[in-house]
């Protein structure tokens, strides 16, 4: 299984992914958490944040997810995933693939802007920020859409929704 949690910076995708991974591990499942920023750093930060660099990182995440899934390791990926062609590739090449789309309004993202990305981009201090000067197309057909405009200290309610997805239930029912 590959569970692809998509969203802009600040939507809560990394936090949610961590909760889901924890629950799957508690159930005895072999699962790896892939975070787009962490994979970028792990591979030496050799791709930048331009459209081309982001495309290369997206390709790596998709290929790595397939590689792990082909070996029976479940993957929960917290990714920006701004390229529909890689979402299509995932669906065509990764059995048991599902998408969760985390979304929030720009006002919410600005309030949560711990990396100070949106504020700096809106002031023109930095460029190549997805959702400001790089487009972010909504995923075409996610299995679950979560509107995360509430400032939740506890994301367990959202994790429950993910754990109830058909693909996750299928994994949990296997011995």
Which residues are marked as active site? 81
**DSSP letter (8 states) at residue 27:** T
**Closest alpha carbon to 99 in 52, 155, 137, 53:** 137
DSSP 133-145: TB--PPPSS-SEE
CA distances from 101 to 48, 134, 150 (A): 24, 18, 15
Phi-psi region of 155 (alpha: psi -120 to 50; beta: other; left: phi over 0): alpha
Give 83's DSSP letter: -
CA distance 17 to 139: 18
């Amino acid at each position: 299984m590959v569970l692809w949690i998509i969203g802009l910076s600040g939507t809560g995708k990394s936090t949610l992914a961590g909760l889901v991974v924890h629950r799957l591990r508690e159930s005895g499942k072999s699962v790896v958490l892939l975070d787009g920023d962490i994979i970028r750093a792990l591979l030496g930060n050799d791709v930048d944040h331009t459209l081309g660099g982001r495309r290369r990182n997206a390709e790596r995440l998709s290929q790595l997810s397939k590689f792990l899934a082909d070996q029976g390791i479940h993957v929960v990926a917290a990714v920006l995933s701004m390229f529909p062609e890689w979402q299509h590739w995932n669906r065509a090449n990764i059995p048991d693939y599902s998408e969760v789309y985390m979304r929030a309004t720009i006002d919410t993202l600005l309030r949560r802007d711990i990396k100070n990305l949106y504020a700096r981009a809106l002031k023109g201090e930095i460029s190549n920020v997805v959702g400001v000067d790089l487009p972010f197309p909504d995923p075409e057909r996610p299995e679950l859409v979560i509107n995360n405009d509430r400032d939740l200290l506890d994301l367990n309610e959202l994790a429950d929704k993910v754990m109830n997805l058909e693909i996750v239930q299928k994994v949990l029912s296997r011995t």
